[in-house]
Amino acid sequence: MPAVSKGDGMRGLAVFISDIRNCKSKEAEIKRINKELANIRSKFKGDKALDGYSKKKYVCKLLFIFLLGHDIDFGHMEAVNLLSSNKYTEKQIGYLFISVLVNSNSELIRLINNAIKNDLSSRNPTFMCLALHCIANVGSREMAEAFAGEIPRILVAGDTMDSVKQSAALCLLRLYKTSPDLVLMGEWTSRVVHLLNDQHMGVVTAAISLITCLSQKNPDEFKTCVSLAVSRLSRIVSSASTDLQDYTYYFVPAPWLSCKLLRLLQCYPPPEDGAVKGRLVECLETILNKAQEPPKSKKVQHSNAKNAILFEAISLIIHYDSEPNLLVRACNQLGQFLQHRETNLRYLALESMCTLASSEFSHEAVKTHIETVINALKTERDVSVRQRAADLLYAMCDRSNAKQIVAEMLSYLETADYSIREEMVLKVAILAEKYAVDYSWYVDTILNLIRIAGDYVSEEVWYRVIQIVINRDDVQGYAAKTVFEALQAPACHENMVKVGGYILGEFGNLIAGDPRSSPLVQFNLLHSKFHLCSVPTRALLLSAYIKFINLFPETKSTIQEVLRSDSQIRNSDVELQQRAVEYLKLSSIASTDVLATVLEEMPPFPERESSILAKLKKKKGPGAVSVNELEEGKREGGELNGGGERGGDSSAIAASNAVRDTNKYGKHCFKISISALQLKCWGSGWHWTQECMALLENVDPNPENFVCAGVIQTKAQQVGSLLRLEPNAQAQMYRLTVRSSKDTVSKRLCELLAEQF
Amino acid sequence: ALSVTVQPRCKIIRFILIQNRAGKTRLAKWYMQFDDDEKQKLIEEVHAVVTVRDAKHTNFVEFRNFKIIYRRYAGLYFCICVDVTDNNLAYLEAIHNFVEVLNEYFHNVCELDLVFNFYKVYTVVDEMFLAGEIRETSQTKVLKQLLMLQSLE
């Protein structure tokens, strides 16, 4: 048993803990605990009033038992009694107990709050801190109601001790987060901001967390913190190693405070004041310079502390996205880290570069590291590092390197962890579509995806390849041929059968001339997979078969025989049975003309945003996908139709026709025009996905009107927008109102929409 | 014009855990509301996640929709659960800073010190972390305060 420190010995506790540790079995432990609980219960109920020391000891034992994992249903009252002791050690145990075993009994709450109140007004900093810590740890509504008014006062009072200020700041932060309505900052704002100038670095460290949170909710009220933060940061970064002694960690001055200051600055756009901005840029340059200097210590703590600041500074540089020089320097620094011997740094560099990739200033610089990143993808031993490499390849992908990157990602996919395959598949599908100049490459890529990771190829992906093949004449023959070849593989994924079935059903005629892919050969190939497939796939294949009958009359009798067989027309699945029966009938009674009309080639799909992007966003969660906006800016709407301008115009015309019939088709038409608008927005370098813009129901009291709300993402920020369309059937006119938080955005939206009508 | 503010992610330490290799918890400090079952589940999951990692891995693990920054000291794993956008290296060193304080305070700290003095470990934690944020980083100041408290009755 190790020596217990002097002062509050609590020998009884130490003995009890030893006893528990010496128990040979769970049963013995429970027995010993129950014995102790009985003992404590009797002591608490006993005639003699317990002295403070004993009470403390028993409450502490109860706490220990609770932390072992056993329920405790008494002792709260005794713990609360300890709060009113004037001995620190007793108070401490009392507060600890009630913070860990939070009880919602209202009488206890009243007593606790009373004790806290006394300690807060005691002018004893140790007791004040105990009380503040309790509020910060528990943070209940009742505590907020009782103390939310008092704590700001303590925080800014001139005679409050430094340590109390630190605790008060964070205590207030907790209350603000849990009960924001009760924490009114109004009159305290400037004094709280001023804490950034406090000479006690610990106070600044604590205050800055409070300020950061408050300024996120009330940016205008707290914006004076920006220049103070810059000054503070500047002083720290340029300080000699002998300043800030207590706060220097392994030769790095105030690393955590520096990080927090840089984090606070990320809540705001770049400073407008030239002097402040200049000072900040200088600061960032100094931080980047320091990264190049020889280290003052070989210890990993030194480099971690230094690099913590560096990475936060790079985050800020990326957030501003306005200093090309800094962005490029940041990129170069990260490039060096890509090959560092420490895995942590390689990981962080890959992660950070991912965000840099979407800035137009640093995009090219990031691309220069492609070989290193590809190498990381192949050789890193930690799967999370390989994943960051994959993310970075996705982010740095553009027209110039798409083929290379997609090839590398496909190859990685062959051995990738199952947990990341679905995301990888979505990403490859998105890149292949986005950067396809040659759509046969696109088709190959998707078919490869199915071959390599068929289980993870979701519906959105294979629907998309079909949509694209349907809409593009130039790739239909190639698709038919390729899918035919892919189906030859003995073990072929079911998704391949789906895609193959559909495409051959539509375009099998394009390869039917070659005897190796004659109609009967195609049919037999598909049918050989039939019994291995699930019901939905079989249903799809049956449709393909009837299409074959239309395309290739010579196959009619063979296929009819299949349709006629018991396993089809008496199939236990209703859908399959119905299809078999109906297709059989159709093939028998319809004339060739009728058959040809019914089974006419699928018309092109209407323009709409790829659901793949939406699915990826949903998978990755907020703040994840940052699709390269450079390429989107250059992309023309309507590429889906295989002919730039014309495709785009026709959709716009269709949209405006549709809108003119608003009263007839209502919401649907407005949606179409929104989609067309969205393609145009892409042309302006904006990004606006279907899930960001929504048609709202029951908002406008007039049911004839349509209201939309959404968020438009420009390069620098997100701009909320509201739209209202008010049609007036009688006058054959409408009024379109657009509101957003930026004038320029409203104007542009109006211009774009006006072009639609 | 109306402004639509995009809600920033909640940046807060979710919890701090000290666990041994066998899975026994030596300290669990929670900064967000979890009920007892959730806490137990989290503890088990964290243990499962960190104990399979070795030197070739980073000190950061994605965990549910947060991340864990951790480091192993002898038989103990010190884990801090933070937001995915938080600064990994800053928290890695916050752990180390905390461990150095424990080491100094308990004179070459070992696991047993944390067991027998569990109620004091909370005091150390509250000096350095509060309300899910870093409170004090100066080892000198923290130790001075702890020694002062130690002398009180």
Chain A residues with CB under 8 Å of B60 CB are 344, 347, 384
Interface membership of A294 toward B (CB under 8 Å): no
**pLDDT band with cut points at 50, 70 and 90 for residue A667:** very low
pLDDT band for A651, please (50, 70, 90 cuts): very low
Once rounded to an integer, what is the mean pLDDT over residues A500-520?
93
CB contact under 8 A, B150 and A206: no
Report, as an integer, the average pLDDT of B118-127.
97
Are B85 and A720 inside 8 Å of each other by CB?
no
| pLDDT surpassing 80 at residue A86 | yes
**A305 — contact with chain B (CB < 8 Å)?**
yes
Please give the residue of chain A at the shortest CA–CA distance from B6: A718
Residue in A173, A96, A182, A162 with CA at minimum distance from that of residue A131 = A96
Looking at the 3D structure of chain A, how many domains does it have? 2
> Residue A302's closest chain B neighbor by CA?
B93
Q: Cα separation of B72 and B57, whole Å?
A: 12
Q: For the segment A588-623, what is each residue's pLDDT rounded down to a tens digit?
A: 998 888 888 888 888 888 876 677 877 887 777 654
Residue with tokens 């409450």: A59
In a domain, B93, yes or no: yes
Which of A70, A167, A352 is the best substitution to test chain B (most B C-beta atoms within 10 A)? A167
- In angstroms, how far is CA A391 from the centroid of its own chain? 13
Contact assignment for B137 to A304 by CB distance below 8 Å? no
Q: What is the pTM (predicted TM-score) of this model?
A: 0.79
A610 beta partners: none
**Best CA proximity match to A333, nearest among A358, A304, A313:** A313
**Amino acid A621: pLDDT:** 60
Chosen for mutation from B31, B99, B114, B137 (greatest number of chain A CBs closer than 10 Å) is B137
**DSSP codes joined into one string, A33-94:** HHHHHHHHHHHHHSSSPPPHHHHHHHHHHHHHHHHHT----S-HHHHHHHHT-S-HHHHHHH
Give the mean model confidence (pLDDT) for residues A374-378. 94
Give residues with Cβ within 8 angstroms of B121, minimum separation 6.
Answer: B26, B27, B102, B114
Look at residue A653 in the predicted model and tell me its pLDDT. Answer: 34
Domain boundary among A556, A580, A599: A599
Q: Are residues A474 and A585 in the same domain?
A: yes
Domain identity same for A701 and A583:
no
Q: DSSP 3-state assignment of A718? A: strand
Asked if A16 has any chain B CB less than 8 Å from its own CB, the reply is: no
Q: Which residues of B touch A267 (CB under 8 A)?
A: 8
Average pLDDT over residues A623-631: 39
Of A89, A201, A720, the CB nearest to B152: A89
- In this prediction the ipTM stands at 0.94
pLDDT at A294 (0 to 100): 93
Q: Which range has the worst mean pLDDT, A117-126, A214-223, A407-416, A717-726?
A: A717-726
What is the span of the domain harbouring residue A474? 451-599
The answer to whether the beta carbons of residues B91 and B82 sit under 8 Å apart is yes
Question: Over 70: is that where the pLDDT of A266 sits?
Answer: yes
Is residue B108 situated within a structural domain? yes
Please state, in angstroms and rounded to a whole number, the distance separating the CA atoms of residues A258 and A262. Answer: 6
Question: For residue A296, what is the DSSP state?
Answer: S
How many C-beta atoms surround the C-beta of residue A716 within 10 A? 11
Q: How far is CA B109 from CA A561, B63, B98, B116, in A?
A: 82, 29, 12, 12
CA dihedral sign, ordered A9, A15, A20, A24: positive
Range with the poorest average pLDDT among A176-190, A354-368, A544-558, A740-754:
A740-754
- Give the pLDDT confidence score for residue A631 in this predicted structure: 34
Per-position b or e across A544-570, b if 16+ CB within 10 A of its CB? bbbbbbbbbeebeebbbebbeeeebee
CA distance A121 to A117: 6
Going across the sheet that includes A693-696, the strands are A693-696, A706-713, A718-728, A733-740
pLDDT bracket for residue A693 (50, 70, 90): low
Provide, as residue numbers in chain A, all residues whose Cβ is less than 8 Å from the Cβ of B97.
249
- Residue range B86-113: mean pLDDT, rounded: 97
Nearest to B81 by CA among B122, B30, B125, B118: B30
- How many angstroms separate the CA atoms of A563 and A540, rounded? 13
- Specify the long-range contacts of residues A598-603, CB closer than 8 Å, at least 24 apart: A598/A550, A599/A546, A599/A547, A599/A550, A599/A551, A601/A506, A602/A470, A602/A506, A603/A470
Mutate to test the interface with A, among B19, B122, B130 (most CBs of A within 10 A): B130
In three-state secondary structure terms, B73 is strand
Express as a percent the part of chain A with pLDDT over 70. Answer: 86
Model confidence over A534-564: pLDDT tens digits?
Answer: 999 999 999 999 999 999 999 999 999 999 9
Residues A59, A37 contacting (CB under 8 angstroms):
no
Residue of chain B whose Cα is closest to the Cα of A622: B9
The full DSSP string for B15-55 is EEEEEETTS-EEEEEESS---HHHHHHHHHHHHHHHHT--T
User: Predicted confidence band at A719 (pLDDT cuts at 50, 70, 90)?
Assistant: confident
Residue A409 lies in a domain: no
Residue B104 banded pLDDT, cuts 50, 70, 90: very high
Query: Between vectors from CA A168 to CA A163 and to CA A173, what angle results, nearest 5°?
Result: 135
A112 to chain B nearest CA, in Å? Answer: 19
pLDDT tier, A750 (very low <50, low <70, confident <90, very high otherwise): confident
Q: What is the pLDDT of residue A747?
A: 77
Residue A116 to residue A133: CA distance in whole angstroms: 10
Domain housing B145: 15-152
Identify the domain boundary among A551, A578, A599. Answer: A599
CA distance, residue B135 to nearest chain A CA (Å): 5
Distant-in-sequence contacts of A580-586, Cβ < 8 A, 24+ apart: A580/A542, A583/A542, A583/A543, A583/A545, A583/A546, A583/A549, A584/A560, A586/A546
In whole angstroms, how far apart are CA A574 and each of A299, A532, A570, A585? 71, 19, 9, 16
Domain final residue, candidates A599, A622, A639: A599
CB contact under 8 A, A2 and B97: no
Taken in order A670, A732, A740, B7, the sign of the CA dihedral is: negative
- CB pair distance less than 8 Å for B115 and A17: yes
Phi, psi dihedral angles at B77 (to 5 degrees): -105, 125
Contacts of A742 in chain B (CB under 8 A): 1
Contact criterion met (CB below 8 Å) for A440 and A636: no
pLDDT tens digits, one per residue of A287-337: 999 999 999 999 999 999 999 999 999 999 999 999 999 999 999 999 999
What's the CATH code of the domain at B113? 3.30.450.60
What pLDDT does residue A240 have? 73
How many of the other CB atoms lie within 10 Å of CB of A70? 14
Q: pLDDT-based confidence at A691, cuts 50/70/90?
A: very low
Residue among B2, B117, B138 minimizing CB distance to A741 = B2
Q: What's the rounded Cα separation, in Å, for the pair B112 and B97?
A: 20
CA Rg, chain B, in Å? 16
Asked if A382 and B12 come within 8 Å (Cβ–Cβ), the reply is no
State whether A466 and A594 are in the same domain.
yes
Please indicate whether residue A674 or residue A449 has the higher confidence score (pLDDT): A449
Same domain, A468 and A595: yes
pLDDT at residue A220 greater than cutoff 70:
yes
Q: Which residues pair with A733 in a beta bridge?
A: A728
pLDDT, mean of residues B140-153: 95
In a domain, A516, yes or no: yes
A562 closest CA partner among A572, A576, A575: A576
Q: Does pLDDT of A238 surpass 80? A: yes
Helix, coil or strand: residue A739: strand
Q: Does residue B5 have a pLDDT over 70?
A: no
**Contact at CB, A5 and B58, closer than 8 angstroms:** no
The band of B58, judged by pLDDT with boundaries at 50, 70 and 90, is: very high
Hey, CA dihedral for A176, A180, A181, A185, is it positive or negative? positive
Q: For the domain that residue A735 is a member of, what is the CATH number? A: 3.30.310.10
User: Any CB–CB contact under 8 A between B147 and chain A?
Assistant: no
Count the Cβ atoms, other than its own, within 10 Å of residue A489.
10
pLDDT exceeds cutoff 70 at A582: yes
Q: Do A468 and A577 belong to one domain?
A: yes
Q: Which residues contact A412 (CB under 8 A, 6 or more apart)?
A: A377, A378, A386, A390, A424
B89 vs A382: CB contact, 8 Å cut-off?
A: no
Residue in A13, A256, A748 to test binding to B, most B beta-carbons within 10 Å:
A256
pLDDT computed for residue A632 by the predictor? 37
Rg of chain A on CA atoms, in Å: 35
Using CA atoms, how far apart are residues A33 and A62, in angstroms rounded to an integer? 10
Tokens of A333: 């620094």
Domain for residue A539, yes or no?
A: yes
**What pLDDT, on a 0 to 100 scale, did the predictor assign at position A700?**
78
> What is the C-alpha to C-alpha distance for residues A33 and B15, in angstroms, rounded to an integer?
28
Rounded mean pLDDT, A372-386: 93
Q: Using CA atoms, how far apart are residues A380 and A569, in angstroms rounded to an integer?
A: 55
Strand partners, B62: B67
Mean pLDDT of chain A: 85
Per-residue confidence (pLDDT) for residue A6, from 0 to 100: 45
Ranges A91-95, A111-115, A726-730: which has the least confidence: A726-730
Q: A92–B119: do the CB atoms touch at under 8 Å?
A: yes
- Measured between its terminal Cα atoms, the distance across chain B in Å is 61
pLDDT at residue A545, rounded to an integer: 94
Q: Backbone dihedral region of B74: left (phi > 0), alpha (psi from -120 to 50 degrees) or beta? A: left
User: Cα separations (Å) of A550 from A98, A370, A507, A668, B18?
Assistant: 79, 50, 12, 34, 71
- Residue B103 contacts A, CB cutoff 8 Å: no
Among chain B residues, the shortest Cα distance to A206 is held by B135
Q: Do A718 and A711 form a contact (C-beta atoms < 8 A)?
A: yes
Same domain assignment for residues A468 and A586: yes
- Higher-pLDDT residue of A522 and A664 is A522
What pLDDT sits at residue A684? 41
Q: How many CA atoms lie within 13 A of A588 on its CB side?
A: 10
Residue A196 included in any domain: no
Q: Which 3 state secondary structure label does DSSP give B3?
A: coil
Q: A290 touching B, CB under 8 A?
A: no
Query: Worst-scoring range by mean pLDDT, A254-268, A358-372, A470-484, A649-663?
Result: A649-663
Pairing status of strand B129-130 against strand B133-134: antiparallel
**B6 pLDDT higher than 50:** no
The tally of domains found in chain B comes to 1
Task: Say what angle helices A76-83 and A88-100 make with each other, to 10 degrees.
Answer: 140
Q: Say if residues A178 and A139 touch (Cβ distance below 8 Å).
A: yes
CA-based torsion, A151, A155, A161, A167: positive or negative: positive
Instruction: Looking at the complex, report in whole angstroms how far the Cα of residue A398 sits from the nearest Cα belonging to chain B.
Output: 26
Contacts with B, A 239-258, CB within 8 Å:
245-247, 249, 254-257
Please give the interface size between A and B, counted as residue pairs whose CB atoms are below 8 Å apart: 179
A-contacting residues in B 35-64 (Cβ below 8 Å): 56-62
- A675 DSSP 8-state letter: H
Touching B: A residues 140-169, CB under 8 Å: 163, 166-167
| pLDDT for the residue numbered A186 | 83
Share of chain A above pLDDT 90, in %: 67
Question: Is A254–B141 a contact, with Cβ atoms under 8 angstroms apart?
Answer: no
Q: Mean pLDDT across the stretch A77-98?
A: 96
Average pLDDT of the residues of chain B = 92
Mean pLDDT of all residues in A83-112: 94
Burial track A726-747 (b if 16+ CB lie within 10 A, e otherwise): ebeeeeeebebebebbbeebbe
Distance, CA of B132 to CA of B15 (rounded, Å) = 8
C-alpha A667/C-alpha A727 separation (Å) is 12
Q: What pLDDT is stored for residue A756 in this prediction?
A: 62
Residue in B8, B3, B1 with CA at minimum distance from that of residue A220 = B3
Whether A613 is in a domain gets the answer no
User: Has residue A720 got a pLDDT over 70?
Assistant: yes
> Residue A306, Cβ neighbours under 10 Å: how many?
24
The reply to whether residue A88 touches residue B152, judged by beta carbons under 8 angstroms, is: yes
- Residue A368's CB: how many other CB atoms inside 10 A? 12
pLDDT tier for residue A243 given thresholds of 50, 70 and 90: confident
